[in-house]
Amino acid sequence: MIAKYILFGLLTILIVEARKPKGCISIKSVTKPIQHAEGPHWDSHKQLLYYVDTFKADALKWDPKTNEVTMFHIDDRNSIGIIVPIKGDPKGFVAGADRIVYQIKWDGKENNTAKYEEILMVDESKPNNQFNDGKADAKGRLWIGTLTRNPDQSVKDNGGELFVITDKKLLKDNQQVNYTSISNGLAWSKNNKHFYYIDSAKRNVVIYEFDLEKGVLGESRVLFDLAKYPDIPTSGIPDGMTIDSDDNIWVAIYGGGCILHVHGQTGELLLKLDLPVTYVTSLAFGGPNLDILYATTSRMRLTEAQIPSQPLAGTVLAITNLGVKGLPANEFEADEWKKQSC
């Protein structure tokens, strides 16, 4: 692959000669920088992008029609991993902050106007644990993982788990994957027969057989292993992930300054897309046609001297002309929650 950058202010054009796509891929920032943008979720109904500033415990909404960003802060929390809309509730969300699952009521119009209620806590015996990445499956169950955060922001090995949380039972102990280090990216195939999962510390992507009706995982194998690609720095780890309508996955490489497009069955690397930032955190397809790939990024590990050379770090990047489309993001099913009031 041959790549060239053309930089015009906040717009970077990457010309890529690769098997797919062919032509000019456009990369531009659409938000102002924050410390550590994560957890993007495109709301196809409202045409809005939700994301979080992890270590500020802030949830944000970006409206592409107005280019406005609004936010709310969750008090007395050190982190937030995700915010996901509740199906059928235009103001309802589920969020994971520290070890607590919250029900949120927010119209998104003004800052810090959200009302929130604690629903449950996981990992009660692990006070240093926090939620990381999470998404809803096609049945509306919330899959969300934890990790153990050390005081220096490093992560303890094997301290986390991948939970499944439902509306009716609010299952605290339904762990699907145990002893994870950095529970991270997840995605489901279009037919919901496969589940893709990243434990970042292992630097690979695992594919599982998936039973949608029961919400359980089956046999697994390593689909993609970063160790086989020495051109990607060892400092780079797989972070967030999404899937396109061709059932191929897109993986953010945190510390590696790139996104990888990987075949969803063979694990073949289809494309390595370099970005003008080192720390890419997660990905979500959005836009009216689901053909814009939104990438959240971080500037948290950059020094003051490094930030001027990476002015887009911490912004949300919109990547177009990839030649593929995504799938609509699932929402959390919470009929019982909708009867409650925050």
Tell me: is residue 184 an annotated ligand-binding position: yes
Identity of residue 54: T
**pLDDT reading at 141 higher than 60:** yes
Tell me: is residue 132 an annotated ligand-binding position: yes
Distance (Å, rounded) from C-alpha 45 to C-alpha 110?
A: 20
> Mean of the per-residue pLDDT values for the chain?
90
Q: Delineate the domains of the chain, giving CATH numbers in brackets.
A: 33-338 (2.120.10.30)
Identity of residue 31: T
Tell me: is residue 209 an annotated ligand-binding position: no
**pLDDT reading at 104 higher than 70:** yes
pLDDT tens digits, 180-206 = 999 999 999 999 999 999 999 999 999
Tell me: is residue 239 an annotated ligand-binding position: yes
Q: Residue 169: which pLDDT band, with cuts at 50, 70 and 90?
A: low
Range 158-164, long-range pairs (CB < 8 A, 24+ positions): 159/126, 159/128, 159/129, 160/129, 160/132, 161/122, 161/123, 162/197, 163/122, 164/215
For 232-238, what is the mean pLDDT? 93
Q: Which residues are catalytic?
A: 239
pLDDT tens digits, 175-185 = 678 899 999 99
pLDDT over 90, % of the chain: 83
Which of 36-45, 73-82, 114-123, 248-257 is the least confident region? 114-123
* Per-residue model confidence (pLDDT) at position 151: 87
Which of 15-29, 187-201, 243-257, 306-320 is the least confident region? 15-29
**Closest to 335 measured CA to CA, from 213, 172, 169:** 169
